[in-house]
Structures are given as structure tokens and as C-alpha cells.
Amino acid sequence: MAIVNEASLEAQLEELEEKTPWFLAAKTMARKQPVGVAGLIIVLLMVFASIFAPILTPFHPEFNSFENMLTPPNATYLMGTDQFGRDIFTRIIYGAQTALFVGFSAATIGAFAGLVLGVASAYFGGTFDLVLQRVMDVFMAFPLIILALAVVATLGAGTENVIIAITIPFIPQCARVVRSNALAIREIPYVDAARALGFGHMRIILRHMAPNVMAPFLILFSAFVGQAILLEASLSYLGMGVQEPTPAWGLMLQGGAEEYAESAPWVAIWPGIAISLAVFGFNLFGDAVRDTLDPRLRSR
């Protein structure tokens, strides 16, 4: 019987993959998922802006400059200034840092916690599954924003608490979807084989089951980032999120919308566009990931 050397096979595969230039792969992807690529470009632009914010803008995002208060967009202040004379373009760029930090932190923690709980729930089944799912039902009974508001009202405002407030509603959402996929995987013989070989529960859950629910997990994860950005903006808009003078889009919208919507509309318009674009980008990208990873949609 021929012994298959797994390592050498993988190396050959990687070699084959390397033969396709990245730009060709990107071109193929762009042809198959043009909308998703547009979303990816928006996401990458956000990441780029947050990393290189100090280089991209000549101003400090928090320093007041009252001499320039409520200046309309011009060559110096591309998006105008707010009521404190702060450059809105600078605050939009730095606001991407806040949005991405909160978005990725909440989505990562929420999705991974949901992944582990969902797979564990499916794997163990029985009373554990029953109790855990009822707890999830309780959390899922609350609309996302209401639960986040309740958490932040209890813990207080601030970036860390906003991340916790957004993370908590994500966990049951992810756990529920992952569990439904993991239930099918649990019945596949290789899981029984792993048990028969004496592997521990943790190893079976993390090494053998979790990787097989990656498709729904990644779809959820990308959607969560967009949702988290929107939630952070909502909480900040309601005054329960990030606090002044930290640049954050929701906070900028709140500061500008009420008093200056009529006389200085640029104060509210740009953060509104930034929030919409960011959520739009992540949603488009998430849809593309879903279309790519879901075998039922892949052939369409």
C-alpha cells in the first residue's frame, strides 16, 4: 500500500498555488465578486487610514482652534471644521481607528466566544446543550441595541465598556449559528474516530470540529465588524459610548447634528457618510465571503 506523505502533498499544493500570480488571483476574484472587492477596498482604505493617520493629516484630532470654528470645506480644511475649530477630515481619519478598534475587538471576542460555546454545545449535547441554549434564548430575546444600551448603562460609558456591551449580544448570535452547523459535524465518523483514539474534549472541539464550521463563522465575523461599528456609532450618538474629545464618528454626528445641521451641515454630513461607507464596506465584503464559502451559492 502506498504511503501518502501528507507534508509533501501540501508542499506541492502550495507550490501550485504560488504559480498563480496574486494580481491574477485578484483579477479572478474581482470578476467573480466585483461588489465584494469594492467592499474589501473600502475596508482596506479604512485600515490604511487608521494606520497612517498621523501622516495623512496635518492637524491634531483633539486640539481646539476656535479661530477656525465652523469653517466650511476649503483647501486647508477639506471637510471643514467643527464647533471647536477641529479639522473634520482629521477626526474622520482618526475616527476610523476608533471604529476599527471597537469593531474588530467586539467582533473577534464575540465571534470566538460564540464559536467555542456553539461547538461545545453541539458536541456535549444533553443537559449542557439544553441549559446553554436557553441562556442564549434569553440574550437573543433582546434587540441588539437594547441589550448593548443596558450593558453600557450598567457598566458606564467609555471605549472598553462599549466593546463589552457590543460583544455580549454577539456571543449568542454566533453560538446559535455555529451550533446548528456543528450538530451535523458531530455525526460525522471522524469525530467518533477522534473519540475512539482517546482525544480530549477540548482537542476534539478546537482541532477537529471548530475548523469545520469556519465558513459560517467567517461570514458572521465580517458581518459582526460592520454591526459593531454601527453599534459603537449609535451608542456614542446617544452619549453612552466613546467620550469627547476622542474622535469617533457617532460622537461627531451627535455633536453636529442637533445644533449645526442647518447652518453648518458639513459637521454632521461627513461622519454620517463615514459610518454608512464603513458598514456598507463590511457588509459587501461579508456577502462576498459568504458567496465564496457557501457551496450552495458558489455555483451561481
Residue holding cell 475587538? 105
Q: Which triple of cell numbers denotes residue 133?
A: 441554549
Cβ of residue 240: shortest distance to other proteins, in angstroms? 8
Q: Give the contact letters, 134-153, x = binds to other proteins (CB under 8 A), - = no.
A: -------------------x
Q: Which is nearer to other proteins, 14 or 258 (CB)?
A: 258
CB of 173 within 8 A of CB of 143?
no
Burial of 114 (0-12, 13-18, 19+ CB in 10 A): buried
Stretch that binds other proteins, among 35-43, 57-65, 121-129, 283-291 (CB under 8 A): 57-65
Least separation in angstroms between residue 66's CB and other proteins is 4
Cβ pair 191, 208 in contact under 8 A = yes
Of 15-23, 39-47, 177-185, 252-260, which part binds other proteins (CB under 8 A)?
252-260
Question: Any contact of residue 265 with other proteins (CB under 8 A)?
Answer: no
Tell me which of 22, 258, 295, 300 binds other proteins, using CB under 8 A: 258
Q: How far is the CB of 70 from other proteins (least distance, A)?
A: 8
Closer residue to other proteins, CB minimum distance, 14 or 262:
262
Closest CA to 183 of 137, 125, 97: 125
Does residue 280 touch other proteins according to CB under 8 A? no
**# binding residues, other proteins (CB under 8 A):** 24
By CB under 8 A, tell whether 69 contacts other proteins: yes
- Contact residues for other proteins (CB under 8 A)? 62-64, 66, 69, 83-84, 153, 156-158, 239-240, 243-245, 255, 257-263
